[in-house]
Amino acid sequence: MLRTRVIPIVLLSGYSVLKTIKFDERRNLGNPITIARIYNTRNVDELVLLDIDASKQKRAIDFFTIQDIASECFMPLTVGGGIRKIEDIRNLLKRGADKISINTYALENPDFISESAAIFGSQCIVVSIDLKKGPDGYFIYSSIDNETTKLNPIEWCKKCEELGAGELLVNFVDLDGTMAGVAHDYINQIANAINIPLIASGGVAVPEDAVKIAKAGASGVGISSIFHFTNYTPLDCKIAMNAAGILVKI
């Protein structure tokens, strides 16, 4: 049985670390090297770095920034932001990334998932999916035009797996940065629809929320705000998960 992972989600804009609320309001948290060093000491299982402005600004994530961060990061590292070419993936892997997260371009060109998985292996390709809740349920949200798409989220998750994604990262936009509780029921629906690992992120307020995400079927719990704005640590989340019978690495 695989251990459930505790995975901080670190948002970048260029060389600055940000924390958003509902993908909108921003707080600057400083230098990514410092953040990486802190997480090195806190027994996290992986780290996800996402440049949230790269696609909007039609640029790739800065490769040298990733190289600097990776040199200080002693855990598996997933990197995303503005990836639109095979060469982007190759450059990031050369600079220390272990996995690549694709979001916007996967929606624009789903065949890119298959192409990249065929070259680098499915285990390297993570598809990131942003969800927003509307009157008729959840929809996939595109940050490029600030609109929801017409894609059915569950069907898109299944399609990404069919195309070769090795893992999904699902972000709940309405819960981002709110510390208002998690969407464990919908996480469970996604987890039951796919056969690849799922990281779910958004709304964790207390370690018990990490338990809810894990029990819903996610193999990774994406967390950010409580590690920056409360006294809770990754170890607190793992202790709660372990006490609930969830296998974790402590």
Active site residues: 130
| Nearest to 78, CA basis, from 52, 46, 123 | 46
- Write the DSSP assignment of 40-86 as a string of letters: HTTT-S-EEEEETTTTTTT-PPPHHHHHHHHTT--S-EEEESS--SH
| Nearest to 163, CA basis, from 215, 127, 203 | 127
Give the pairing of strands 99-102 and 77-80.
parallel
* Cβ neighbours of residue 76 closer than 8 Å, sequence gap 6 or more: 45, 46, 47, 98, 99
Residues in the chain: 250
- Alpha-helix residue ranges (DSSP H) falling in 63-152: 63-70, 86-94, 104-108, 111-120
> 236: phi > 0 → left, psi -120 to 50 → alpha, else beta; which?
alpha
3-state secondary structure of 182: coil
